[in-house]
Homo-oligomer: A and B are copies of this chain.
């Protein structure tokens, strides 16, 4: 029996935040609805980072207030610090949402240079803050997930030693994070490195406590996922349609597309709880919101197939 795989959908936050076009809250919520309808059980929906840093996510309160609620569906919201945590807790309270429905996601990088550019402090300083923030979130009934960026390589420092990633991951788990999602932020990872990193981690922690957040910048995301599956991981992050470009290379791919991931998983016989036609419909809507062709290959194949079938369907009548 293959294990059930959890697909962690990051499109409505990570995806839309990195798209050029502003998406109104109503459209964001409609996309979240379509993703929930398609059977995604984990959806990153909002960010409580200061709106002055990330204006695109300034509607976090409104989004949280209007999140569709259903059995088995958990959302995630980014929480950068104590102030963000208080904002999130107020938003949940005024929406009447139990803490169990929205996890808090904390984030940092494995490399100092990237962490300083993103968070204006060293990795060690970030970890010190998390030593207060994570227990505070847990005390308020939230579950906490951690995103660890640049876990393969840093755009400023190059390759990151797997043992450094292991050490940070173990500290995050020890703080009480239920899972650490390892990000290949610039999408340069290849399967050999991924196997080394994952095997090192799994020599120390259980597989359900590690997720892979692969970027498809060089087209290797699914090959890395395959290595993760072979090693026993069961959670993978992805973004509908591949929304959210690579910030270091305009026009290049960033997030792994959810449709590509789910196509691979279903083709290999893994259960995901996701309905394929409804997922493709969500991808088409994401493409409308982004206002440009999204990089996900399976999405484009399905759209192309429909165009071809519609053309073929016209032949007999025409």
Contact = CB atoms under 8 A, between A and B. Distances in A.
A266 B191 CA distance: 11
B263 A298 contact: no
Contact of A263 (B190, B226, B253, B268): B190
Interface stretch (A51-59, A87-95, A112-120, A216-224): A216-224
Interface stretch (A13-21, A163-171, A304-312): A304-312
A287 to B, nearest CB: 12
Given A219-B257, A263-B218, A301 B190 contact: no
B226 A301 contact: no
Q: How many chain copies?
A: 2
A192 B307 contact: no
A246 B301 contact: yes
Contacts of A190: 263-264, 267-268
A220 B256 CA distance: 12
A11 interface: no
B267 A226 contact: no
Given A191-B226, A219-B263, A220-B222, A253 B297 contact: yes
Interface string A67-104: 00000000000000000000000000000000000000
Given A226-B223, A305-B249, A268 B191 contact: yes
A227 B227 CA distance: 10
A187 interface: yes
Interface residues of A, number: 44
Contact of A300 (B227, B253, B257, B268): B253
Interface string A276-309: 0000000000000000010111101111110110
A250 interface: yes
A193 interface: yes
A251 interface: yes
A248 interface: yes
A134 interface: no
A304 B246 contact: yes
Contact of A252 (B249, B263, B304): B304
Interface string A234-275: 000000000000101111110001001001100111000000
A225 interface: yes
14 contacts: A187-B301, A189-B267, A190-B264, A191-B226, A219-B219, A219-B260, A219-B264, A220-B222, A220-B263, A246-B304, A248-B304, A248-B308, A251-B307, A252-B304
Interface of A: 187-193, 216-220, 222-223, 225-227, 246, 248-253, 257, 260, 263-264, 267-269, 293, 295-298, 300-305, 307-308
Given A191-B264, A251-B300, 5 more contacts: A191-B226, A191-B267, A219-B296, A220-B267, A223-B225
